[in-house]
């Protein structure tokens, strides 16, 4: 929880970035810290900003249909999945 509060302070410097936090009536263990970027933000710009702050983050996992091994398999239209892939960043769950 202390780490999440630290992230809230860092992320508050950015416009249109949201830290994924627990909702009412639930209590998170905050094992997987995640931020969600707004429409206009570029994931790599935010990765650079956070890494410069000492928050060694990375993009969310690549969707399976985007992996080389599965690229020729049948799939549905996955525009929303691909959009999420560009707008979600995982941040460390260990203290900075």
Q: What does the block give as tokens for 58?
A: 């990375």
pLDDT at 7: 86
pLDDT at 30: 82
Residues in the chain: 96
Q: Is 63 exposed, middle or buried (0-12, 13-18, 19+ CB in 10 A)?
A: middle
pLDDT at 68: 94
The answer for residues whose C-beta is within 8 angstroms of residue 40's C-beta and 6 or more apart is 16
First-to-last alpha carbon distance for the chain, in angstroms, is 13
Q: Do the beta carbons of residue 41 and residue 16 sit within 8 Å?
A: yes
pLDDT at 65: 94
- H or E element that contains 8: helix 2-11
pLDDT at 55: 85
Mean pLDDT by 10 residues, the chain (96 residues): 86 87 86 86 87 88 93 93 91 78
């Amino acid at each position: 929880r202390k780490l999440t509060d630290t992230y809230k302070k860092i992320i508050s410097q950015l416009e249109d970035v949201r830290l994924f936090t627990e909702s009412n009536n639930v209590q998170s263990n905050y094992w997987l810290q995640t931020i969600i970027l707004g429409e206009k933000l570029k994931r790599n710009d935010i990765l650079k900003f956070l890494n410069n702050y000492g928050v060694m983050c990375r993009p969310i996992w690549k969707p399976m249909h985007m992996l080389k091994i599965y690229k020729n398999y049948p799939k549905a239209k996955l525009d929303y999945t691909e959009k999420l892939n560009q707008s979600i960043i995982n941040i460390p769950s260990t203290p900075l």
